[in-house]
Amino acid sequence: ILHGVSEGLLAIDVENRVELVNEAAKTLLGLRGVGLEGRKLVESVRIPALIELAELGRDTRRTAEFAVDDPPRYLLATTTPLRATGGTVIVLHDMTSLRNLESMRRDLVANVSHELRTPVSIIRANAETLLDGALDEPEQARNFSQAILRHSERLSNLLSDLLDLAKIEGGAYPLCLEDVSLRTAVQRAVDTLSRAAKAKRVLVQVELPGELYARADAQALDQVLVNLLDNAIKYSFEGGVIDVTAVPLDAQVRIVVSD
């Protein structure tokens, strides 16, 4: 049973010699194929945090989390003292996926906060300008109102992306696969961002050989292409050129957006 569980298990005696170690523990510690039984823990494991935890865990239950370089992962270790023998049992849990997810969430919150700040600021500034007197000048009022509309649509798209992300994480994002014309999909993305490209004097060149089709979710593909093109336009130099190409690759098609 001990050798079959997914958690790493180490049993060490009162002299810190390894009495039992399962394969999961060896894998988590990067020590597969190494004979640990009968040897002192410090002779085989080069992780100071684990060695210290084993020393402190002789008398009371303790928990510590630490990083392992090879293979790179985060481990949570819990010690339980064995009163009868003076030894200790150490249980190892792999926390890598959870820590990576937490990091992704932090990055997401930071990115979304950054992306939301710009349209909200622009909408507020344009609304204040309208209230300060621009409403009485039809041409200016129209321009400011259009800016408010554009950036409110941007906010709506950001919120839609967040909802889609929640669905993807919950495994509830439905993919509707169909034969999609890549030329049509790329052109839709180019047309959607034509105003932004024109404002920055960026030329978008589309080079697709013949009629390429892919089995894909048309709406998801549109979203990916628009995101890539939007970033390319946003971060290109004024007067730059963006190329959109697509080439068959075995049973797939590779689409490239480059500046």
Query: DSSP string covering 160-173, please?
Result: HHHHHHHHHHTT--
CA distance 21 to 82: 16
Of 196, 201, 205, 211, which is closest to residue 253 (Cα–Cα)? 211
**pLDDT score for 52:** 87
CA atoms within 13 A on the CB side of 6: 3
CA distance 113 to 158: 10
Cα 37–Cα 9–Cα 62 angle in degrees, nearest 5: 115
pLDDT tens track, the chain, 259 positions: 887 888 999 999 888 888 888 888 888 888 776 777 888 888 878 888 888 888 888 888 899 998 888 778 899 999 999 888 888 999 999 998 888 888 888 887 888 888 888 888 888 988 888 888 888 888 888 888 888 988 898 888 888 878 877 787 777 778 889 999 999 999 999 998 998 899 999 999 999 877 889 999 998 899 899 989 999 999 999 999 999 999 888 889 999 999 8
CA distance 21 to 41: 11
Q: How many Cβ atoms from other residues are within 10 Å of residue 173's Cβ?
A: 14
**pLDDT score for 28:** 87
Q: With 0-12 CB in 10 A as exposed, 13-18 as middle and 19+ as buried, what is 259? A: middle
**pLDDT score for 110:** 83
**pLDDT score for 219:** 86
Residue 32: which H helix or E strand, with range?
none
Please give the model's pTM, rounded to 2 decimal places: 0.53
Are the beta carbons of 22 and 1 closer than 8 angstroms? no
CA distance 233 to 239: 10
Conformational region of residue 203, where left means phi above 0, alpha means psi within -120 to 50, and beta covers everything else: beta
**pLDDT score for 164:** 78
**pLDDT score for 205:** 94
Are the beta carbons of 143 and 100 closer than 8 angstroms? no
**pLDDT score for 92:** 93
Q: Omega of the bond prior to 71 within 30 degrees of 0, cis?
A: yes
3-state SS assignment for residue 35: coil
**pLDDT score for 245:** 93
Q: How many Cβ atoms from other residues are within 10 Å of residue 29's Cβ?
A: 24
Cα 243 to chain centroid, rounded? 26
Q: With 0-12 CB in 10 A as exposed, 13-18 as middle and 19+ as buried, what is 226? A: middle
